[in-house]
Each structure stands twice: as C-alpha cells, then as structure tokens.
Homo-oligomer: A and B are copies of this chain.
Amino acid sequence: VFLINGSDGAALEATDRGLLYGDGLFETIAVINGDMPLWDRHIRRLQEGCRRLGFDCPGEDQLHQEAKSLVSDDSRCVLRIVVTRGSGGDAYRPPKATSPTRVLHRRSWGPRPESFWSQGIRVRLCDTRLAVGSPVAGLKHLNRLEQVLARREWDDPDIPEGLMLDDTGRVVEGTMTNLFVQRGKRLITPPVDRCGVAGVMRGMVMELAHEAGLELEQGRLTLNDLDNADGLFVTNAIIGIWPVRELDTTSYEITAETRRLQSLLSGIIGSRP
C-alpha cells in the first residue's frame, strides 16, 4: 500500500531525480501495534540527510499524519519512507526551488525466524567492498548498488547477513545492518564517516551500551579484531539485535552483555522478532 505525495497510487514520474540519480533518502521503520517507537530518530536522520543533500525535508507533522493513516490498523508491519529531491534541474544540477517527492509504503513484517534473535545467526564475509571517502557517508541515501551487489553474492537462506569490508580492508557493517564487536567490557562499532550508514538502531544501541555494562567506542576494525572478539552482533531498525553465532568458520558465544542489550531494547521497542 502506497501514499505518494499524499495520494493513493504506486506510480512515480519517470523524471524523478530519485530514479535518475538516486537523489534522495529513505527510512525503514518498524511499526508495532500501530506505534512507531523509533519515529523521532528516523525523522531526525531524514532531516539531517535532506540538510546534507541540500533540499527541504517534508514537514514532520505531514509525514507523521500520512504514516499514521497508512499503518494505524496494523499490529506489526514495516513502513518505508522515501524522500527524493523531486523532478527538475538541469541534469545533475538540482533545481533551485525543489518540490521533494515523498513515497510511503507499508509492507508486511515478513517472516524472520525467532531463533535469529534468540540463538544468533550465521554471517559470511562479502567480496564486494565499500568505496572509501564518500561525501554521503553515514546517510541512508538511495545510492545502494554496493549493498545490492554484496547481497547478490549468496543464496543460502540460513545465512541472513553478510559483512562488508571497505576498500582499505577495514570491517564496516553488514549489507543491511550495523556491526558491533565486544572485547572484554568494550563495545566497538566502526565509524561511518568515510562509508557506511549511521543506522537508527546503531544509535540506540550506542546509547544503551553503558547501561549494559559496556564501554562504547567507535573504532576501525580489522578481520583480526573479529577473530579476537568475545562476541559480535548486528543491528537494524527492523531486526533489533541479532547476535552472530558464526562468521564463516569462526564461532562466537552470545555474551551476557548482548543478552542484556536485547532485554533493554525489548523494553523500548517490544519483543522481537
């Protein structure tokens, strides 16, 4: 079910810069009992993205009203919001006065084994690497070919995620998740200033780390750091926290602190999946 600029319908102008250049942003929002517990974080990130790309973000009230009209009767679903710069301009050059396009799309929650949350997942290492030094690093923008190519690499339904290195060999994130690595009482997640996405759930977990007895750190990670980790987990706004049980042939325990973070998270966003 779609709302495009406030109207029903699932079609978009072929001149939209979102299609022509990926000139826009998106948010993937968990809806739980008709509520969107992380709404504020999603909207703040969207606004920050619009600021960095240089066009006006649709009003928060309008987006919220439209979102509620789409999801109000759903106990659990996923709401995707796409905001593009709209049409116009002269090729890459954006128009001075923009009229952004907003696409709201309600999707089913989708089947995800409960065991991914409770027992952890298997992940693999992707060959596709992230380019380094992107001027749009950190943003949830529509230029996602790196993730598409990485996700194309495997087919095994028992491996729900793959980790990606950047061009210099640092470990950055999953194709659709952020990565956290625990070593002793330190919880490390890679910075996203050179590539990668500043996930909403990443931000949430960073704030909860202290309460789970961990010292949070943004730091560059190598594969060697992963080998020597006490535990790994991946996060996003829909899945919450999935502990990593296996990375290719390396096995991990699920740490008590990871369990504690899951428990803290459940109190805020409801139980998973």
Report chain B residues within 8 Å CB of A141.
Answer: 145
Interface stretch of the complex, out of A31-39, A146-154, A182-190: A146-154
Indicate if A14 sits at the interface (CB-CB under 8 A): yes
Considering the complex, give the chain B residue whose CB is closest to the CB of A175.
B92
Given contacts A11-B11, A92-B175, A23 and B135 within 8 Å (CB-CB): no
Expressed in whole angstroms, the Cα–Cα distance for A2 and B15 within the complex equals 10
Considering the complex, give the chain B residue whose CB is closest to the CB of A127.
B135
Expressed in whole angstroms, the Cα–Cα distance for A233 and B267 within the complex equals 61
Considering the complex, give the chain B residue whose CB is closest to the CB of A168.
B133
Given contacts A129-B135, A132-B131, A132-B132, A148 and B23 within 8 Å (CB-CB): yes
Expressed in whole angstroms, the Cα–Cα distance for A150 and B15 within the complex equals 20
Indicate if A166 sits at the interface (CB-CB under 8 A): yes
Indicate if A103 sits at the interface (CB-CB under 8 A): yes
Indicate if A195 sits at the interface (CB-CB under 8 A): yes
Expressed in whole angstroms, the Cα–Cα distance for A179 and B73 within the complex equals 56
Please state if A14 and B23 are interface contacts (CB–CB under 8 Å): no
Please state if B13 and A16 are interface contacts (CB–CB under 8 Å): no
Please state if A91 and B176 are interface contacts (CB–CB under 8 Å): yes
Please state if B20 and A142 are interface contacts (CB–CB under 8 Å): yes
Expressed in whole angstroms, the Cα–Cα distance for A136 and B152 within the complex equals 14
Q: How far is the CB of A243 from chain B (nearest CB, A)?
A: 21
Please state if B93 and A145 are interface contacts (CB–CB under 8 Å): no
Indicate if A94 sits at the interface (CB-CB under 8 A): yes
19 intermolecular pairs with C-beta atoms under 8 Å apart? A11-B11, A11-B13, A12-B13, A12-B14, A14-B105, A19-B103, A20-B82, A21-B143, A21-B148, A22-B22, A53-B148, A94-B148, A94-B151, A131-B131, A131-B133, A132-B133, A135-B146, A142-B145, A143-B144
**What residues make up the interface of A, taking CB atoms closer than 8 Å to B?**
2, 4, 10-23, 26, 53-54, 82, 84-85, 91-94, 103, 105, 128-137, 141-152, 166-168, 175-176, 195
